Amino acid sequence: LAQDGTLPRDRLLAASLDALACGFQAFRAGWFSRFHERLQPTLDERADHLTRYLHLLGSTTPATVSFACKALHALQKQGRLPCGLLLDHIEPALTVKTKATVTLALRLLGTAHREEPSNHERIALSVASSLLHEAGDVQQRALQLLHALYPEPATASAVVREAVAVAGDLIQPSLRAEFEPWAAGGLAMPACN
C-alpha cells in the first residue's frame, strides 16, 4: 500500500513508532519494530522521527530500547544526533538487563564525547549508572569510557566521583584494580550499622 501510494510512508513510519511507545510485550512489539525496519527508513526519515526514537529509550520492553539505540546509532554515524538530546534521554538505556543494548548506549555516549567534549560531566554521570550492571564486560566498557573522560579520576567533580563510587560493591573482582582510582578519589560512603 505504501509502494502504490495508497498509504503515505510517513504515516506508517510514525504509526509503527507510536505503537512501540504503547509498551507492548516483546512478542507484540517485535512486529512493529520489524515492520518499521522493513519500510527501510532513509536517514532523512529517521531524522524526522528523532524525538520518537529518543522517547523509545524509556520503553519498558528491552527489545524496543535496543531497536531505538540502533536507529539513533545510524543517525549519530551521520552526525545527525545532537548530543544534548541524547543526554536528555539515554539514562534508561543504560540500566536495561540486555548487555548488547547497554554496550550500544555506551558507544553512543563515547561518540557524543568525541563530538562534544564539553559535555564530559553529563556524559560521565550517565556512564556511572551503567556500572550497576551485573555483567563484567559492561562494567569494563563503562570504566574505559570514564577513563577517556577523566584520565585522572581525581580531576572529576565530586558529583561524578560520588555517582561512580555508588557502584563500588557491585564491581566485578576482576575490575577492582581498574575501579580503585575512582574509589580512592571518590567520596566516602557512610557505613551501614
Q: What does the pLDDT look like over 149-183, one tens digit per residue?
A: 999 999 999 999 999 999 999 999 999 999 999 98
Cα–chain center distance at 165: 20
End-to-end CA gap in the chain: 66
Q: What does the pLDDT look like over 63-94, one tens digit per residue?
A: 999 999 999 999 999 999 999 999 999 999 99
Grade residue 185 by pLDDT with cuts at 50, 70 and 90.
low
Assess whether pLDDT exceeds 80 at residue 33: yes
pTM of the model: 0.89
Minimal CA–CA distance to 158: which of 135, 119, 124?
Answer: 124
Contact 143, 131 (CB under 8 A): yes
- Which grid coordinates belong to 187? 567520596
- Which grid coordinates belong to 19? 505503537
| Distance in angstroms (rounded) separating the CA atoms of residues 112 and 90 | 11
Q: What does the pLDDT look like over 108-156, one tens digit per residue?
A: 999 999 999 999 999 999 999 999 999 999 999 999 999 999 999 999 9
- In this predicted structure, what is the pLDDT of residue 64? 96
Minimal CA–CA distance to 2: which of 40, 33, 31, 32?
Answer: 40
